[in-house]
Amino acid sequence: MQTASACDSASGQKTQSVGLELLDVTCRFGDVAALKDVSFTAKPAEFMSIIGPSGCGKSTLLRSIAGLERIDDGGIHVGGKDVHALRPSEREVAFVFQSYALYPHMTCRQNIAAPLVMTELSALGRTPLLHRLSPKARHTRARIASRVDKIADQLQIGPMLDRRPGQLSGGQRQRVALGRALIREPKLFLLDEPLANLDAALRNTTRAELHALQRRVGATTLFVTHDQAEAMAISDRIVVMFDGQVRQIGTPDDLYRNPADIDVARFLSQPWLNCIHMDTAAHHLEAGPGRPTARVRGLPLREQTGVVAFRAEHASVHPESDRAEPALRVTVDRAEHAGSDANLFVTLQGSDTQLVVRIPSSDIPRWPGGTPANLRIDTEAAWIFPVPEQTADTDRDAMKVA
Amino acid sequence: MILTLAAAVTLLPFIYMIAVSLAPTGALWSGSLLPAPSLDAARANYAYALTEVPLLRYMANGAFVCAMILVLQVLVAAPAGYALAKLPFRGRGLLFGAVILALMIPIQVPAIPLYVALAYAGLLNTYTALILPVIISAFAIFLFRQFFTSYPDEVLDAARLDGFSELAIVWRLMLPAAWPAVAAFATISVIAHWNDLYWPLVVITDTDMMTPPLGLAAFRSNGESTGNPGALMAGGVMVTAPLVIAFVFFQRHLIRGLGIGAS
């Protein structure tokens, strides 16, 4: 498969894919800091996702890197070059917007060609009719046309080139938007929720294609999404942001196993993160005579403070009669089917704490509502976190901390 | 029913104008509602109007002045409307208020200072005197601003990343998207300035520089044609015809443009 960088042989310069470096980037809107001292480095050709709840500043960060938002402090280096004083078009970055942002009155061919037409042609060469006067413009136009054709082949949108964006489906528009980004051969791709407007089936196939395309082109990529599963699926590393700050950076596996704090753990948990106050957990797990001291990751619960947190997949339910190991006494509320697995929602006896356990779907009939049960925690996969501060967007989850 | 009646009342003078332009002078006094047309009289009337006064010259003047006014108005109003709609700057709200205020001031108010200024500059009896005072159209700025406001911001961001300058955004993205507004404004502007008698009357006295309405007024008042209403009406028909034809072509855009602008 032909890579986009090979298309550039005409100008004799092969696109060198270089990373991105952010140093204490700060951006304020009035009194509100949308970005606070954001620093991280992306390796060349790395695929990095930025995730976080809405309003955490992830889109602002992307726009700042592109030069669409003015930053108040800090430095941005794209491919080792300080881009602070450069205009958006000079930063060698390409941006794919959630809404695709195609030029509505231009054909797809003109849309894809636009970045080259605007940067490589003189004003005369861009003028309708008059451009025929300049032999140089004619030559440049021919080169642009052949590059558009190559990109269209790669993205399989050749037959749609002469239509306008309004006549295309969402998936096709998305490809045209990608084509417009690819043709610039940027050092850095910035993708702002490019899959959000596609339906579920298309999103999965497009996600895979996007990943393959990025590998082929080899450009550093920042991918903003609010869908943590999407980020987990295609990223080399993930940046988790909260309130304009970077909370954690790591590989998907890192983030899953070792979240830096309860917010990160919550954000990466489906359907939510189970949290139980330490005292309650210790009380429940050690109830009854002759119980051994309950431990999480080897730490005796009695000596800790904070909350015990664990994912739905790191717990199991057992019949009430099965008392072989320390367990939480719960009552089954209801089950939700989720394919081969199901989520079983239960309430901790003697409190209103709701917990969720992943069970095989085939086991649903064993746990009708109202059944008492024992819930065992995989104590090696659970965490102890400090009690979280109550903030507006975590209120729902904070309620679950008994 | 009321609309039909109103249309009939509006159309009647035009019908009478056409009828008179086709009839011999004597037939006007025959007492019938519409004078009987005759081919010879029509030929004589139109020939007289075309040869005795430089009617074609008036129409060429009018066409040139209207075209220049329109081009310059759009050249000024499109970037101004874009800045008011999409570029954040200090005092933008105040400036837009000033545009709306300017909408309410008729040309008669600044007519005397304008006349004095043009006289001092030695520009009376020139195209410049006809064109210059009206190239900044508050109505055009307002109309374009309303149209541009609804243009998606993400597309503008994409354009800036693709290397469009702010002016390239105006000419290559905003204006093509605002085509109905441009067509509506063009129709209104051309009708207004083709028909304008007031301003040409103030700054033009030279027959060679006259626009059609001023020329017709001069044709009527210079005495020799008072005895020839047929020729005068023939002149009127010829001066009105281009506008009517243009309106028939553009009325769809005119109505659509005003509809969108108002919503």
Q: Alpha helix locations (H) across B53-178?
A: 55-86, 92-103, 111-120, 127-131, 138-149, 153-161, 166-168, 175-177
CB contact under 8 A, A101 and B155: yes
Quote the pLDDT of residue A399: 41
Q: Tell me: do A240 and A311 sit in the same domain.
A: no
Decide if A372 contacts A330 (C-beta within 8 A): yes
- Residue A8: pLDDT band by 50, 70, 90 thresholds? very low
Q: Minimal Cα–Cα distance from A373 to chain B, Å?
A: 53
CA-based nearest residue to A247, from A381, A70, A385: A385
Q: In this structure, how many other beta carbons lie within 10 angstroms of the beta carbon of residue A29?
A: 11
Distant-in-sequence, close-in-space partners of A222: CB < 8 Å, separation ≥ 6: A20, A42, A48, A49, A50, A62, A65, A188, A189, A190, A191
In this structure, what is the dihedral angle of CA atoms A282, A283, A286, A289, given to the nearest 10 degrees?
Answer: 160
Mean of the pLDDT values across residues A274-279? 85
Kind plus residue range of the DSSP H or E element containing B18:
helix B2-22
CB contact under 8 A, B163 and A102: no
CB contact under 8 A, B157 and A95: yes
CB contact under 8 A, B163 and A115: yes
pLDDT tens, position by position, A320-356: 887 777 788 899 999 998 888 999 999 988 888 899 9
- Residue A142: pLDDT band by 50, 70, 90 thresholds? confident
Final residue of a structural domain among A195, A230, A260: A260
Q: Could you say which residues from 135 to 154 on chain B have a Cβ atom under 8 Å away from some Cβ of chain A?
A: 152, 154
pLDDT tens, position by position, A16-32: 445 898 989 999 888 88
At residue A13, does pLDDT exceed 50?
no
Among A66, A99, A102, the residue with its CB nearest the CB of B161 is A66
Quote the pLDDT of residue A289: 56
CATH number at residue A296: 2.40.50.100
CA distance B202 to B225: 23
CB contact under 8 A, A99 and B154: yes
Decide if A196 contacts A173 (C-beta within 8 A): no
CA distance B51 to B46: 9
B163 at A interface, C-beta within 8 A: yes
Domain count, chain A: 2
More confident residue, A44 or A15: A44
Q: Tell me: do A106 and A240 sit in the same domain.
A: yes
What Rg, from alpha-carbon coordinates, does chain B have?
Answer: 22
More confident residue, A392 or A151: A151
CB contact under 8 A, B161 and A68: yes
Three-class DSSP category at A331: strand
Quote the pLDDT of residue B94: 95
Sign of torsion, CA B17 B18 B19 B24? positive
CB contact under 8 A, B157 and A101: yes
As a whole number, the mean pLDDT across chain A is 83
B206 at A interface, C-beta within 8 A: no
Among A94, A103, A184, the residue with its CB nearest the CB of B173 is A103
CA-based nearest residue to B125, from B31, B209, B186: B209
Q: Tell me: do A172 and A245 sit in the same domain.
A: yes
Query: Which tokens is A28 given?
Result: 């304020």
Q: Tell me: do A274 and A362 sit in the same domain.
A: yes
Q: Could you say which residues from 324 to 383 on chain A have a Cβ atom under 8 Å away from some Cβ of chain B?
A: none
Residue to mutate among A69, A105, A107, A116, with most B CBs inside 10 A, is A105
Q: Tell me: do A190 and A67 sit in the same domain.
A: yes
Listed as ranges, residues in chain B with pLDDT below 70 are 31, 222-227, 253-254, 257-263
Quote the pLDDT of residue B259: 63
Quote the pLDDT of residue B157: 93
In degrees, rounded to 5, the angle at the alpha carbon of residue A45 between the alpha carbons of residues A42 and A47 is 65
Q: Is the ipTM of this complex over 0.90?
A: no
Half-sphere exposure of A70 (CA within 13 A, CB side): 3
CB contact under 8 A, B160 and A94: no
Chain A residue closest in CA terms to B175: A105
Sheet holding A307-310, edge to edge: A274-277, A307-310, A383-385
Q: In this structure, how many other beta carbons lie within 10 angstroms of the beta carbon of residue A201?
A: 8
Q: Tell me: do A249 and A275 sit in the same domain.
A: no
Q: Tell me: do A87 and A132 sit in the same domain.
A: yes
Q: Minimal Cα–Cα distance from B246 to chain A, Å?
A: 25
Q: In chain B, which residues have their Cβ closer than 8 Å to the Cβ of A63?
A: 157
Residue A22 gets which letter from DSSP?
A: E
Instruction: Tally helices (H) and strands (E) across chain B.
Output: 14, 0
Q: Tell me: do A195 and A333 sit in the same domain.
A: no
CATH number at residue A164: 3.40.50.300
pLDDT tens, position by position, A160-194: 889 999 899 888 898 899 999 989 888 899 999 88
Among B154, B164, B176, the residue with its CB nearest the CB of A118 is B164
CA-based nearest residue to A309, from A379, A248, A250: A379
Point out which residues pair with A91 in neighbouring strands.
none
Q: Minimal Cα–Cα distance from A177 to chain B, Å?
A: 10
Q: Minimal Cα–Cα distance from B57 to chain A, Å?
A: 31
CB contact under 8 A, B157 and A87: no
Point out which residues pair with A318 in neighbouring strands.
A374
Chain B residue closest in CA terms to A116: B162
Three-class DSSP category at A56: coil
CA-based nearest residue to A61, from A163, A192, A211, A228: A192
Decide if A301 contacts A281 (C-beta within 8 A): yes
CB contact under 8 A, B161 and A89: yes
Decide if A165 contacts A104 (C-beta within 8 A): yes
Q: Which domain holds residue A147?
A: 4-260
CA distance A58 to A51: 7
Decide if A251 contacts A369 (C-beta within 8 A): no
Chain B residue closest in CA terms to A128: B172
Residue to mutate among B148, B156, B162, B172, with most A CBs inside 10 A, is B162
CA distance A82 to A103: 30
Final residue of a structural domain among A260, A279, A296: A260
Final residue of a structural domain among A260, A293, A322: A260
CA distance B100 to B60: 33
CB contact under 8 A, B176 and A89: no
Q: Alpha helix locations (H) across A305-398?
A: 395-398
Residue A365 gets which letter from DSSP?
A: G
Q: Minimal Cα–Cα distance from A85 to chain B, Å?
A: 14
Q: Tell me: do A309 and A223 sit in the same domain.
A: no
CB contact under 8 A, B158 and A101: yes
Q: Tell me: do A365 and A272 sit in the same domain.
A: yes
CB contact under 8 A, A104 and B158: no
In order of their start, the domains of chain B are 13-262 (1.10.3720.10)
Q: Tell me: do A239 and A324 sit in the same domain.
A: no
Quote the pLDDT of residue A291: 60
- Residue A397: pLDDT band by 50, 70, 90 thresholds? very low
pLDDT tens, position by position, A157-169: 888 889 999 899 8
For A242-273, b/e burial (b = at least 16 CB within 10 A) is bbbebbbbbebeebbeebbebbbbbbbbeebb
Q: Tell me the CA distances in angstroms from A197 to A170, A200, A201, A207, A268, one per residue in order.
A: 7, 9, 12, 12, 22
Chain A residue closest in CA terms to B164: A118
Q: Tell me: do A253 and A269 sit in the same domain.
A: no
Instruction: Tally helices (H) and strands (E) across chain A.
Output: 11, 20
Label residue A197 left, alpha or beta by phi (over 0 means left) and psi (-120 to 50 means alpha): alpha
Quote the pLDDT of residue A395: 43
pLDDT tens, position by position, A63-112: 999 999 889 988 999 988 889 889 988 888 999 998 899 999 899 999 99
Decide if B84 contacts B145 (C-beta within 8 A): yes
Quote the pLDDT of residue B85: 94
Quote the pLDDT of residue A17: 43
Mean of the pLDDT values across residues A117-137? 76
